[in-house]
Amino acid sequence: MAQQIKIEPVTRIEGHAKITLTLGDDGKVNDAMFHVTQFRGFEKFVEGRPLTEMPSITARICGICPVSHLMASAKACDDLLSVEIPPTAVKLRRLMNLAQFTQSHALSFFHLSSPDLLLGFDADPATRNVVGLVRKHPQRAADGIKLRKFGQRAIELLGGKRVHPAWLVPGGVNKALDPAAREEILAGIPQALDIARRTVEFFKTIVDQFHHEIDCFGNFPTMFAGLVAPHDLWEHYDGTFRFIDSDGIDVVELNEPREYQRYIGEAVEEFSYLKSPYYKPMGYPDGIYRVGPLARVNICKGFGTPLADEELAEFRQRAGNPALSSFHFHWARLLETLHAVEQIQRILEAPDILDKQVRARARPNRLEGVGISEAPRGSLIHHYKIDEDGRMVWANLIIATGHNNLSINRGVLQVAKEYVDGTKLKEGMLNRVEAVVRTYDPCLSCSTHALGQMAMKIELTDREGQVLDVLKR
Amino acid sequence: MNMSTLATPQVITLQIDGQDVSARADESILDVARENGIDIPTMCHLDGLDPVGACRLCLIEIEGTPKLLPACMTYAEEGMRVLTDSPRLQKYRRTILELIFAERNHVCSVCVSNGHCELQNMAVKLGVSHVTVAYRYPKMEVDSSHDRFRLDHNRCILCTRCVRVCDAVEGAHTKDVMGRGVLSAIIHDLNEPWGDSDTCTSCGKCVHVCPTGALVEKGTASSEMAKRTQFLPYLTRMREHHS
């Protein structure tokens, strides 16, 4: 009888997941599947609702990155209204998105992944968590909390609250920036910048310890995709949507978000509620690509801010250009955090940042609209169709973690092949399988628009599907 | 003015919550209570519109009467002893509010009236933090056909303020109620899309007297629809003055 080891619930991923590993006759892993097990149906139940409610409704898909859906949705609505939003509103939206990058990346790195990186993948799971981190590395843990607070507070000062601020509206934002709020955010910059800098410095001193993980944590050639700004600069809000191949060569660039369906197909697998988007011209499943921090860093030429660009040069030298191992999502995330803080300062110092004209008003002028923005985890696409009265008739949402689904599956297989031998699972192996998933900082609540607690289950089955062993958290 | 030609109003005395108060015979208990600083919760009532007793939130207890009566439709009588805030009434009011919430789809967090909603405020005031009856989740339409305004039946509590203001103040009587009981719904003319109505003057009074996010201005996003009802008593008085 198969022995069961229960480790419940799974920590440090956002959402509900299960992994199945299939063994061959020799006891080696043949196949791996990453199952996302919830269904929520946002795309269906928004039908009939007025388009102006869409940012608020879709925001409720996720409270973890509470601004991302608001951003993509507001952009899709801008497209439906066919308006050009005031320049100050663009800056303010950018500001909020960067604040969110800071807080979300801090959460991913310090709270979710640092226990593996600082305490060790094979450390006792009882202490391999944020509490263990606080005990052993109080300074790092405090840095994480402070950096996250900086981002959260900036979101609150801009939008009135930290989670799901109703400030982002079709046509811009609904309130100009308060000078006092500007001062308060600016006052927090020096500390946030220090933390971001010393965290990158620190990461560079430990990254070489993980050469074995770097080699097998989703280390394979794929395409990369994301937004990119004019002059090939890093982008998170606007710009064009670019695909590059694994050699770093531009494959295609979408000038209009509405073109996305020409290049992105969505496959559905029976084993998961998470859709698997793929690059259409390559077909499924060959059209695998990655999005998120690693992709954004790979597709651009530079950040455009001095500190981040300096670090990027070293990253390229040490991790490759493009960097192919998903382990380097961590490093890329830290680079983005550094840039976000630099850029927040730059935007706050713009002469028109306190301008009162922050909203363009219009009625729906188009029946179909698409908005693409970058969530911390990667590209987020909202695609809406409305009737002539402005009511939603159809919606399609492609979420960052969805884009990465094929890659996560392959990464899990790669790690499992490397670490799993025989028919008995070991905890350290389980944690590495989880950890490869964690590098992507997946948000399963978002990606299925699903509801649930964090949980992960790993099943070991033979070729006939007989369950040999189960690890549950 | 010759004072002797004015009829002397009949003044009666009664007791509300143990407090002796005086009133005219044509005054409702609600009016008398409010004049004397005694608050009775209401949803369908609005100063400037005729009362209908639809929401039942203003139910009161009157000594010697087993039934609960709506304060807005019950007139003061000599020697009455009225209770407005007994534990029994508090319980009934909370249940009424819960039933209103459960009847349709009131989703505050995404509603354009979030933060400006009388229903939401009432729930806070009466301590309704949870709804203990089963939600009905009816599938209801949003009428977005009007050029400037929108009717979301999901958020409607059938208080009929819109129907009354349209009829009595604007004089158009575009809006009315169709159906019975839980199937009742606000309609325009002979149940046409609002945008097709020949009688609607697009004055917007219905929008501003609506206590919830059922009637709103188009283009408003979540939490942006604040209503302005100050115009109503003023307008009513001016119209009486001219007629």
Do A393 and A364 contact (CB within 8 A), yes or no? no
- The candidate with the shortest Cα–Cα distance to B110, out of B226, B224, B207, is B224
B172 Cα to chain A: minimum distance (Å): 24
At residue A473, the pLDDT reads 55
Q: Is the pLDDT confidence value at A169 over 60?
A: yes
CA torsion angle A86 A235 A231 A189 (round to 10): 80
CB-CB under 8 Å, B218 with A56: no
Residue in A closest to B114 by C-alpha: A166
DSSP string over A393-456: EEEEEE-HHHHTHHHHHHHHHHHHHHH-BTT---HHHHHHHHHHHHHT--BHHHHTT-----EE
Task: Kindly report the backbone phi and psi dihedral angles of residue B223, in degrees, each rounded to the nearest multiple of 5, phi listed first.
Answer: 70, 10
DSSP state letter for A302:
B
At residue A449, the pLDDT reads 41
Which of A49, A56, A390 is the closest to B109 by Cβ?
Answer: A56
* Maximum alpha-carbon separation in chain B: 62
- For residues A236 and A192, membership in a common domain is answered with no
Structure tokens at A135: 């005990």
Q: How many domains does chain A have?
A: 2
Residue in B closest to A74 by C-alpha: B221
CB-CB under 8 Å, B114 with A166: yes
Q: Is the pLDDT confidence value at A9 over 60?
A: no
Residues of B whose CB is below 8 A from A391: 142, 144
Which of A170, A361, A391 is the closest to B144 by Cβ?
Answer: A391
Q: How far apart are CA A40 and CA A450, in angstroms?
A: 5
Query: Boundaries of CATH 3.10.20.740 in chain B?
Result: 11-85
CB-CB under 8 Å, A174 with B224: yes
- For residues A136 and A72, membership in a common domain is answered with yes
Residue A156 lies in a domain: yes
Which of B145, B150, B224 is the closest to A50 by Cβ?
Answer: B150
**How many residue pairs bridge chain A and chain B with CB atoms within 8 Å of each other?**
50
Q: How far apart are CA B209 and CA B215, in angstroms?
A: 9
Which of A56, A363, A391 is the closest to B110 by Cβ?
Answer: A56
Q: How far apart are CA A264 and CA B208, in angstroms?
A: 46
At residue A127, the pLDDT reads 86
Q: Is the pLDDT confidence value at A195 over 90?
A: yes
Residue in A closest to B223 by C-alpha: A166
Q: Chain B interface, mutation test: which of A53, A58, A69, most B Cβ atoms within 10 Å?
A: A53
Query: Boundaries of CATH 3.30.70.20 in chain B?
Result: 90-230
Token pair 């009737």: residue: A387
Residue A343 lies in a domain: no
Do A425 and A3 contact (CB within 8 A), yes or no? no
Q: How far apart are CA A119 and CA A113, in angstroms?
A: 10
Residues of B whose CB is below 8 A from A49: 142
CB-CB under 8 Å, A60 with B195: no
Residues of A whose CB is below 8 A from B224: 166, 169, 174
Structure tokens at A211: 């050469």
DSSP string over A410-427: HHHHHHHHHH-BTT---H
Domain boundary residue, one of A274, A302, A320:
A320
- For residues A367 and A274, membership in a common domain is answered with no
At residue A453, the pLDDT reads 35
Residues of B whose CB is below 8 A from A70: none
CA torsion angle A467 A275 A115 A9 (round to 10): -50
B142 Cα to chain A: minimum distance (Å): 7
At residue B243, the pLDDT reads 65
B221 Cα to chain A: minimum distance (Å): 5
CB-CB under 8 Å, B110 with A53: yes
Domain boundary residue, one of A300, A320, A340:
A320
Which of B145, B218, B222 is the closest to A166 by Cβ?
Answer: B222
Residue B143, beta-bridge partner list: B151
Q: How far apart are CA A159 and CA A152, in angstroms?
A: 10
DSSP H/E element including A172: strand A172-173
At residue B59, the pLDDT reads 97
- The candidate with the shortest Cα–Cα distance to A311, out of A201, A226, A189, is A201
- For residues A249 and A161, membership in a common domain is answered with no
- For residues A81 and A196, membership in a common domain is answered with yes
Q: How far apart are CA A136 and CA A145, in angstroms?
A: 15
A400: confidence class by pLDDT, cuts 50, 70, 90: confident
The answer to whether the peptide bond before residue B138 is cis (omega within 30 degrees of 0) is no
Residue A150 lies in a domain: yes
CB-CB under 8 Å, B141 with A174: no
Q: How far apart are CA B19 and CA B11, in angstroms?
A: 16
CA torsion angle A220 A223 A224 A227 (round to 10): 180
**What are the C-alpha distances in Å from B93 to residues A8, B56, B70?**
44, 8, 11
ipTM of the complex: 0.85
- For residues A271 and A144, membership in a common domain is answered with no
Residue A334 lies in a domain: no
May I ask the CATH class of domain B11-85?
alpha beta
Q: Which portions of chain B are predicted below pLDDT 70? A: 1-8, 243
CB-CB under 8 Å, A60 with B109: yes
Q: What angle do CA A319, A321, A326 make, to 5 degrees?
A: 55
- For residues A180 and A42, membership in a common domain is answered with yes
Which of B109, B144, B222 is the closest to A390 by Cβ?
Answer: B144
At residue A229, the pLDDT reads 96
- For residues A155 and A284, membership in a common domain is answered with no
CB-CB under 8 Å, B152 with A390: no
pTM attached to this predicted model:
0.89
Q: How far apart are CA B188 and CA B200, in angstroms?
A: 8
Residue in B closest to A390 by C-alpha: B144
A309 Cα to chain B: minimum distance (Å): 39
Residues of B whose CB is below 8 A from A166: 114, 221-224
B150 Cα to chain A: minimum distance (Å): 9
CB-CB under 8 Å, A50 with B144: yes
CATH of the domain at A430: 1.10.645.10
Chain A residues whose C-beta sits inside 8 Å of any chain B C-beta: 48-50, 52-53, 55-57, 60, 164, 166, 169-170, 174, 361, 363, 389-391
pLDDT in tens, B208-243: 999 999 999 999 999 999 999 888 888 888 877 776
Q: How many CB atoms lie within 10 A of CB B45?
A: 27
Token pair 């009432």: residue: B122
Do A29 and A23 contact (CB within 8 A), yes or no? yes
DSSP 3-state assignment of A253?
strand
Percent of chain A scoring above 90 in pLDDT? 66
Structure tokens at A464: 């006939």
Residues of B whose CB is below 8 A from A170: 221
Residue A325 lies in a domain: no
- For residues A449 and A407, membership in a common domain is answered with yes
- For residues A206 and A232, membership in a common domain is answered with no
Helix A329-348, helix A179-206: angle, nearest 10: 150
At residue A327, the pLDDT reads 96
Residue in A closest to B149 by C-alpha: A389
Kindly report which listed range (A7-16, A89-98, A402-411, B45-54) carries the lowest average pLDDT score: A7-16
CB-CB under 8 Å, A390 with B218: yes
Using DSSP bridges, classify how beta strands A168-169 and A172-173 pair: parallel, antiparallel or unpaired: antiparallel
pLDDT in tens, B144-165: 999 999 999 999 999 999 999 9
Q: Is the pLDDT confidence value at A422 over 70?
A: no
CB-CB under 8 Å, B221 with A174: yes
Domain around A467: 4-212+349-472
A56 Cα to chain B: minimum distance (Å): 5
CB-CB under 8 Å, A363 with B110: no
B223 Cα to chain A: minimum distance (Å): 7
The answer for A184, left when phi > 0, alpha when psi is -120 to 50, beta otherwise, is alpha
Token pair 């001062």: residue: A183
The answer for B107, left when phi > 0, alpha when psi is -120 to 50, beta otherwise, is beta
- The candidate with the shortest Cα–Cα distance to A439, out of A312, A333, A307, A322, is A333
Helix A179-206, helix A306-319: angle, nearest 10: 20
Q: How far apart are CA A471 and CA A428, in angstroms?
A: 12
Residues 6+ apart with CB under 8 A from A203: A117, A330, A331, A334
CB-CB under 8 Å, A48 with B141: yes
Q: Chain A interface, mutation test: which of B147, B148, B222, B225, most A Cβ atoms within 10 Å?
A: B222
Do B94 and B126 contact (CB within 8 A), yes or no? yes
Residue in B closest to A59 by C-alpha: B110
pLDDT in tens, A348-381: 999 999 999 999 999 999 999 999 999 999 999 9
CB-CB under 8 Å, B220 with A55: no
Q: How far apart are CA A374 and CA B86, in angstroms?
A: 56
Q: Is the pLDDT confidence value at A451 over 50?
A: no
At residue B4, the pLDDT reads 52
Residue A335 lies in a domain: no
Kindly report which listed range (A300-314, A407-421, B35-49, B206-220) carries the lowest average pLDDT score: A407-421
Residue in A closest to B147 by C-alpha: A389
Q: Does domain B90-230 have CATH number 3.40.190.80?
A: no
Residue A331 lies in a domain: no
- For residues A172 and A263, membership in a common domain is answered with no
Which of B141, B145, B221 is the closest to A169 by Cβ?
Answer: B221
- The candidate with the shortest Cα–Cα distance to B61, out of B31, B17, B23, is B17
